[in-house]
Amino acid sequence: MDRMACVDLPAFPLQLLRQRHPDWREHPVAVVDRDRPQGRLLWIDERAQRLGIRTGMRFATALALSPELRAAEVSPAQIARAVAAIARRLGDYSPRVEPATAEPGTFWLDAAGLVGLYPSLRAWAEAIAGDLAAHGLHATLVVGFRRFATYALAKAGRSVVCLADPDVEQAALRAVPLERLAIEPQVRDALARLGVSTLGRLLELPAEGLGRRYGPGALELHRLASGDLTLPLQPQRPVPSPTRRLILDEAETDAERLVRLIERLLTPLLAELAGRGQVLEELHLLLRFERLGRHRERLRPAAPTGDVPQLIELVRLRLAQARLPDGVTELWLAARPTMPEPRQPELLDGRPHRDLEAADRALARVRAALGEQAVVRARLGAGHLPENGFDWEPLPQLAPARPPGHRQPRLVRRLYRRPLPLSPPRIAGRDDDRRPDAMTRAVGPYLIAGGWWVRPVQRAYYFFETRDGALLWVFYDRLRRRWRLHGRVE
């Protein structure tokens, strides 16, 4: 029998919100329909549930129960973009992927013919779950035989499950609670009063009587669970991204004239996107040089846009940096489209003094001029030594500032990737040392040892305060018997 899998990301809008605000990790979090005191809570996490907060509450009421609650909107456009991005990622594991239209965050994958590429279907499923987890998303994944069975078991589960037998799948399906499925609340509550709380108990009822009493939705659920109604996999057929191509009669060596040619191609490209109700999220620009061959550039605006002048400014900055080492004979533009973000006009200008949109546009110009890796942020890693304890990752957008309630200034530690040589510290106040950087106070040592698997390390870290007020972060290498300056506290 053909195999298929269902990937379910529970509370998908809530996961997207947590992904957008990693600083909310220690707070109860909720998704609201409107970011106003009268907005209603649509999704809440377990921490909020333990505090007595429930879906359907007003935001102001929930804040009265817990002032620590963090909430924001997740628009349909944001959900659609996330679904499209996850579908593209799942396409690396299966050529046929179907996103659920009625329940964003649920996907079906064709698992047939993959045994030769992976040790087992379970290894394939764990690879998918691990990939999503690396991007901050928790997924339940069930590999089985029937579309509805994998869907229901994924909704009821919390981990990766691989079913090897259709009979085992059907037996597990009978234990799925009805409350985990997309069933009308009135029907679910009416069935619960009769003691019908699982699919197994539902299948014990006659199908026709169930349909006459509780409607076509309950009848369809009965037929899907029993296997009388089966739906085939309906993989999405992505619409090709719009492209524009121009072959030049003569090689172009002037960057400004090349920008004007790109603008002639970009204007109808964005008009085609606007006709689809979309905007541009990323622009791919391919230049074919006369002697050097092809060169590809990728430009990403601060936010999805259909504004030609904003994109042309980024193109001009990128080409000015490239400086055209050879004449260009062909241009090729491709757009990665997305749905526009709806904006609600404000009656009064309540924007903060720090305009995040302007800052994101400035960072987009920096990326266009210096490359995609010019704007990054530090992310904590698993390295043993301090200089290996973080990695750099691209910064797509700035997050709103959330300063603490107190006004105590934050200290910043400036870390050198390679520790600098340092002469042995001297104590200020001695007759033989009047240097301004002499040490007046030391805190430590803080010991780090290990690295025996590559290179043994034994370090004693100190904070040194110098006569001129500098706070140095230094260590003494006990094995090599030398001092190193690793950073400063500012």
Whole-number average pLDDT of the chain: 84
CATH of domain 4-8+78-226: 3.30.70
Residues 168, 28 contacting (CB under 8 angstroms): no
φ/ψ region of 353 (left if φ > 0, alpha if ψ in -120 to 50, else beta) reads alpha
Task: Please give the model's pTM, rounded to 2 decimal places.
Answer: 0.60
The answer to whether domain 4-8+78-226 and domain 12-77 are alike in fold is: no
- The domain made up of 243-338 has a fold known as Dna Ligase; domain 1 (3.30.1490)
pLDDT bracket for residue 402 (50, 70, 90): low
pLDDT bracket for residue 261 (50, 70, 90): very high
pLDDT bracket for residue 436 (50, 70, 90): very low
Alpha-helix runs per DSSP H in 101-215: 121-134, 147-156, 166-174, 185-193, 199-203, 207-214
pLDDT score for 432: 45
Distance from C-alpha of 157 to C-alpha of 274, rounded to nearest angstrom:
41
pLDDT over 90 for what percent of the chain? 22
pLDDT score for 400: 66
pLDDT score for 318: 86
Residues 273, 240 contacting (CB under 8 angstroms): no
Q: Name the residue among 294, 288, 297 with its Cα closest to residue 252.
A: 288
Q: Is 216 exposed, middle or buried (0-12, 13-18, 19+ CB in 10 A)?
A: exposed
pLDDT score for 132: 92
CATH of domain 12-77: 3.40.1170.60
Distance from C-alpha of 360 to C-alpha of 305, rounded to nearest angstrom:
13
Is the model's pLDDT at 168 over the cut of 60? yes
Domain ranges of the chain: 4-8+78-226, 12-77, 243-338, 413-489
